[in-house]
């Protein structure tokens, strides 16, 4: 059975940019999935449909792992890009009997994250909530022994190269 790579991180960490860079040159070796491609409901819709935003994320993580385990995992490794709570990854993998997975956290300094979010036209995301989310993901990833790619001082190209090295090492 092939591996699932969960590439996580708060907005502005550079994960999607790096993954899309790899996808553009190496699509034959991985399946590429983007958590938000299923659509992200408004906070009100999450509460109405799922009870909370956290429950929406947990349920959506479970659905992604189920889809990957039934549709993709037999042919090649899969990369799932998203802002996913680590405990939801563990729970979804346990639910679907997936033991072959790794989590890679993309991280950067708060100042760098704020600048990236402003540069990409999303200054409203450069707020305390996003910085707290980033801190939470960093702390959880450290506790769990996940690979942490701090790309604060890296170019987009260097970040993609570093991610590819990590994927090759963990494959």
pLDDT at 74 over 80: no
Q: What's the rounded mean pLDDT across residues 72-85?
A: 90
Q: Are 4 and 100 in contact (CB under 8 A)?
A: yes
Residue 81 φ/ψ, nearest 5 degrees? -95, 125
Residue 136 φ/ψ, nearest 5 degrees? -60, -50
pTM of the prediction? 0.95
Please state, in angstroms and rounded to a whole number, the distance separating the CA atoms of residues 54 and 158: 33
- For 50-108, the three-class secondary structure string (H helix, E strand, C coil) is HCCHHHHHHHHHHHHHHHHHHHHCCCCCEEEEECCCHHHHHHHHHHCCCCCEEEEEEEC
Please tell me the predicted confidence (pLDDT) of residue 1.
Answer: 57
Question: For the segment 2-55, what is each residue's pLDDT rounded down to a tens digit?
Answer: 899 999 999 999 999 999 999 998 878 899 999 999 999 999 999 999 999 999
Question: For the segment 112-154, what is each residue's pLDDT rounded down to a tens digit?
Answer: 999 999 999 999 999 999 999 999 999 999 999 999 999 999 9
Residue 88 φ/ψ, nearest 5 degrees? -70, -35
Please state, in angstroms and rounded to a whole number, the distance separating the CA atoms of residues 127 and 51: 25
Q: Are 170 and 2 in contact (CB under 8 A)?
A: no
Taking the domains of the chain in order of start, what are their residue ranges?
4-170
Q: Which residues contact 131 (CB under 8 A, 6 or more apart)?
A: 10, 110, 113
May I ask the CATH architecture of the domain 4-170? 3-Layer(aba) Sandwich (3.40)
């Amino acid at each position: 059975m092939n591996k699932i790579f969960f590439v996580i991180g708060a907005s502005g960490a550079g994960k999607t940019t790096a993954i899309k860079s790899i996808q553009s040159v190496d699509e034959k070796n991985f399946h590429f999935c983007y958590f938000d491609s299923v659509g992200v409901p408004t906070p009100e819709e999450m509460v109405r449909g799922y009870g909370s935003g956290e429950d929406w994320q947990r349920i959506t993580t479970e659905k992604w792992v189920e889809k990957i385990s039934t549709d993709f995992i037999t042919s090649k490794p899969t990369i799932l890009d998203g802002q996913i709570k680590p405990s939801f990854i563990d729970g979804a993998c346990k639910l679907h009997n997936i033991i072959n997975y790794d989590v890679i956290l993309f991280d950067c300094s708060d100042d760098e994250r704020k600048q990236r979010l402003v540069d990409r036209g999303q200054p409203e995301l450069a707020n305390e909530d996003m910085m707290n989310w980033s801190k939470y993901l960093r702390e959880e990833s450290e506790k769990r022994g996940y690979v942490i790619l701090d790309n604060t001082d890296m170019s987009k190209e260097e970040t993609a190269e570093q991610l590819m090295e990590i994927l090759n090492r963990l494959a």
